[in-house]
Amino acid sequence: MVLFKTVLSALNISSKTTVFQLLFLVWRNPKRFSKIFQLHQEITPSLRLKKKEADAIVNELHGNFCRRCGYCAPCEAGINIPAMFIAEGYYTRYKMVGYAETYYSKQPVKASACIQCGKCLDRCPYHLPIIEK
Ligand code: SF4
Ligand code: SF4
């Protein structure tokens, strides 16, 4: 609806315009509106692709993602657990490999320091497989 209102205002058309008035405007100004339809044709495939990518991420996550709530803290080994999930997300999901590596390198305690005590597992309300990750 916001997008629709934005398009209308870009065309100097009041948002109170009725559908009938809009159809009349299209009929009277075919050239003006053909550009919009052309734009729609160009944008739609890329939007579909983005939606497909977003759907794939949602399916992959299936609720299995860190909310950064911090309930798992404190880690016995001093690991910042949400930060590990952030680095993992950048690396695997968003393919921002360089950024993920820099982000991870700035963490004072690395994931390899985990002593597998399991305390964070009991605290995470989303039952994330923290140790596996
Ligand atoms: S299992 Fe590993 S990450 Fe979890 S609290 Fe223990 S040391 Fe920290
Ligand atoms: S408790 Fe679970 S969801 Fe919350 S920050 Fe820790 S790992 Fe992430």
pLDDT (tens digit, 0 to 9) for every residue of the chain, 133 residues total?
555 666 666 666 676 777 777 777 777 777 766 777 777 777 777 787 888 887 777 777 777 889 999 999 999 999 999 999 999 999 988 889 999 999 999 999 999 999 999 999 999 999 999 998 7
Q: Are residues 26 and 68 in the same domain?
A: no
Q: Which domain holds residue 31?
A: 2-61
Looking at the structure, do residues 130 and 73 belong to the same domain, yes or no?
A: yes
Which residues does ligand 1 sit against, CB inside 6 Å?
75-77, 79, 81, 114-120, 130-131
Q: pTM for the full model?
A: 0.62
Verify that 130 and 69 share a domain, yes or no: yes
Residues 41 and 81 in one domain: no
Q: How many structural domains comprise the chain?
A: 2
Residue located nearest, by CA, to atom 4 of ligand 2? 69
**85 and 49 within one domain:** no
* Gap from CA of 41 to ligand 2 centroid (Å): 42
CA of 120 to the centre of ligand 2 (A): 8
Ligand 2 centre distance from Cα of residue 121 (Å): 9
Query: Do 56 and 79 reside in the same domain of the chain?
Result: no
By alpha-carbon position, which residue is closest to atom 5 of ligand 1? 75
Dihedral angle computed from the Cα positions of residues 103, 104, 108 and 113, in that order, rounded to the nearest 10 degrees: 170
Q: How far is the CA of 59 from the centre of ligand 2 (A)?
A: 20
What is the model's pLDDT at position 11? 67
pLDDT score for 6: 64
User: How confident is the model at residue 116, as a pLDDT?
Assistant: 96
Among 103, 110, 65, residue whose Cα is nearest residue 87: 103
d(CA 102, CA 62): 27
Closest C-alpha to ligand 1, atom 3:
114
